[in-house]
Amino acid sequence: MNQNTPQRRRERIDRGIKVRCQGIYSLMSWREMTYITAPRAALIAGLLALPLVMPGMYWQRVISIVCIYALLAVGFDFLAHFVGLVSLGGAFFVGVGGYLAAILNTAWALPPIATIPAATVIGATLCTLLLLPCLPLRGVYFAIVTLMYPLFLARVIEALDILGGTDGIMGIDGFGGRWTEQYAVIGMLLIVLFAVRRLVNTDIGLVLRGVKDNDQAIRASGMNVTRYKALAVFITAAMGCMSGAFLVHIYMWSGISQFALDFSILPIAATVIGGGGTLAGPVIGCLILVPVSELLRDFGTLRIVFYALILVAFIVFRSEGIMVYAQRKYHQFERWTQV
């Protein structure tokens, strides 16, 4: 450029403490230990404290629902950003897991502590088997199939009048106390969140990210792509089925509304708002979206209008997502430099 008009640009620099925290020596300083653990501790403490600060039963119930959606959203984020499969199957997983837990509970009188793990494993296996045919393909097939199954299953239950038909299955055991219910869901969410975070950094996670980037290269390396995809779908389905099982025990009722598209769409919106590929972002997205949609109930039919406006505004003005933005601000600072 012409030398007499100096130009400036904003540059982003990693904070000194972030760089210092990258080595093992960060364990030797309290400041750096705090820097590493503070965000995680804040999330854990925040979630654990939520039931205590909520004003009443109603809002405590909302927190449980937030966690259910958060489980689904973490699953969606995992599948979309680490495996490259866009899943619209939240409703499918919730429905399968929910009905399984309901059947196990009413037919064999198993307590929730047994039905939830059983529904998780059996449901995830079922979902994976049903989705297996479309796994070798790339593209929209997976999204479409996962979208079709819940519609299909709901209509089957309605038309054949099985599993309680349109009335659903009633008389399911609850958790026997709202505190147990709250902390069971929150604890599960935290475990799942940190487990998935771990998983994506292991060797399997590496392969899965490779599948997202270039599945032909993974095939050429001698790995069975479909098997890895099935594994990822199993993990996601397990999370979804578990949230479904929790849901029926919270509501003490299982019905075809568990196949409602809300369970597919809201996790995606939460991932967009929270920041895709961060795993913690979708949880934060759910913490915002679910209460907002409850608050908007006062507006009646206009609820959806406001809800949509908030979503669109987010995508226009902060499309990167809250978590990506926050991470950047936490790790980096900006300053003007002379070019």
Partner 1 sequence: MLEAEGLMVFYENMLALNNVAIRCAENQVVGVFGANSAGKSTLMYTLSGIMEDIRRKAQMAGGERITVMGRITYRGQDITNFKPSRRARLGIVLCPERRRIFKESSVLENLRIGAYLASAAQARETIEYVFDIFPALKKLKKRIGGFLSGGEQQMLAIGRALMAQPKILLLDEPLLGLSPLMQAELVRATRQIRDEMHISIIVTEQYARPVMPIVDYAFILENGAAVMDGRREELMDNPDVRSAYFGVQE
Beta bridge partners of 10: 336
> In DSSP terms, which residues pair with 332 in a beta bridge?
14
Between CA 319 and CA 132 the distance in angstroms is 33
Asked if residue 213 binds partner 1 (CB under 8 A), the reply is no
86 near partner 1 (CB under 8 A): no
216 binds partner 1 (CB under 8 A): no
Residues 237-276 that bind partner 1 (CB under 8 A): 275
Q: Which residues contact 80 (CB under 8 A, 6 or more apart)?
A: 86, 87, 271, 276
Q: How far is the CB of 236 from partner 1 (least distance, A)?
A: 23
Part in contact with partner 1 (CB under 8 A); list of ranges 28-36, 214-222, 291-299, 313-321: 313-321
Give the interface segment with partner 1, choosing from 1-9, 183-191, 215-223, 304-312 (CB under 8 A). 1-9
Q: What minimum distance in Å lies between the beta carbon of 11 and partner 1?
A: 5
Query: How many C-beta atoms surround the C-beta of residue 184 within 10 A?
Result: 20
Q: How far is the CB of 300 from partner 1 (least distance, A)?
A: 34
Least distance between partner 1 and beta carbon 7 (Å): 6
- Closer CB to partner 1, 167 or 320, in the complex: 320
Name the minimum Å distance from CB 217 to partner 1: 17
The site map against partner 1 for 319-338 (x = CB under 8 A) is xxx--xx--x----------
Nearer to partner 1, 227 or 328 (CB): 328
Residue number with CB closer to partner 1 (81 or 249): 81
HSE on the CB side for 157, CA within 13 Å? 22
Q: C-alpha distances in angstroms, 67 versus 40, 198, 201? A: 17, 20, 24
Per rule CB under 8 A, is residue 75 in the interface with partner 1? no
End-to-end CA distance of the chain: give it in Å, rounded: 10
Residue 213 corresponds to which tokens in the numbers above? 């980037």
- Shortest distance (Å) from residue 318 CB to partner 1: 9
H/E run at residue 261 = none
| Alpha-carbon gap, residue 187 to 191, rounded angstroms | 6
- Residue 302: DSSP 8-state: G
Nearer to partner 1, 277 or 291 (CB): 277
What are the CA-CA distances from residue 187 to residues 74, 86, 193 (Å)?
15, 27, 10
Site string for partner 1, 2-41 (x = CB under 8 A): x----x-xxxxx----------------------------
Q: Does 138 bind partner 1 (CB under 8 A)?
A: no
CB-based contact 64:260 (threshold 8 Å):
no
Q: What CA–CA distance (Å, rounded) separates 309 from 149?
A: 29
Total residues contacting partner 1 (rule CB under 8 A)? 16
The verdict on 282 binding partner 1 (CB under 8 A) reads: no
Say which amino acid occupies 152.
Answer: F
| Contact flag: residue 301 with partner 1 (CB under 8 A) | no
168 vs 275, which CB is nearer to partner 1?
275
Tokens of 227: 């098997």
Alpha helices in 170-256 (DSSP H): 178-201, 203-213, 215-220, 225-251
Shortest separation between residue 231's beta carbon and partner 1, angstroms: 28
Chain contacts with partner 1 (rule: CB under 8 A):
1-2, 7, 9-13, 275, 319-321, 324-325, 328, 339
